[in-house]
Amino acid sequence: MSYWEFGKKNGLKGTPSQFEELPDGRVVTQPDAENPAVLNDDQIAYALRTSRQARDEFDTDFDALDDESQARLTTLIEQNPRQTALQKDEQKFSDEIQSKGIRSIPVRTTGPKGGKLWRN
């Protein structure tokens, strides 16, 4: 099963939805009637940012998509580079958190409360 399989459909397929303003001022999303997007852009960006498997399969599946889907996803990535960039793997991410916590502990090396040398 592919990461991007959603309801027996490829979640990357589809054209962007259009935003329509109603007479009362509300804005609603109207999916394309002929080729609606299976997953919305926020869901795709989140998966690309948090899952290495999603990123790998995205790169593999991209060429097999139709032109409209490729254009939608290309625009998504170009307009949101930080939201679609893959975060570091889990080990590096947790190591950075731990080292940041350790570096934030104040260590006194001089003065009345720290840095005393023991002499025999």
Could you count the other beta carbons within 10 Å of the beta carbon of residue 54?
20
Considering the chain, what percentage of its residues have pLDDT values greater than 90? 14
| Confidence band, pLDDT 50/70/90 cuts, at residue 24 | very high
Q: At residue 55, does pLDDT exceed 60?
A: yes
Please tell me which residue, 26 or 107, carries the higher pLDDT value: 26
| Confidence band, pLDDT 50/70/90 cuts, at residue 82 | confident
Q: At residue 95, does pLDDT exceed 90?
A: no
pLDDT at 23: 92
Cα four-point dihedral sign 109, 110, 115, 119: positive
Q: At residue 53, does pLDDT exceed 80?
A: yes
Instruction: Name which of 37, 34, 32 is nearest 65 in CA terms.
Output: 37
pLDDT at 90: 66
pLDDT at 86: 67
Burial of 10 (0-12, 13-18, 19+ CB in 10 A): middle
Instruction: Name which of 94, 93, 96, 112 is nearest 104 in CA terms.
Output: 96
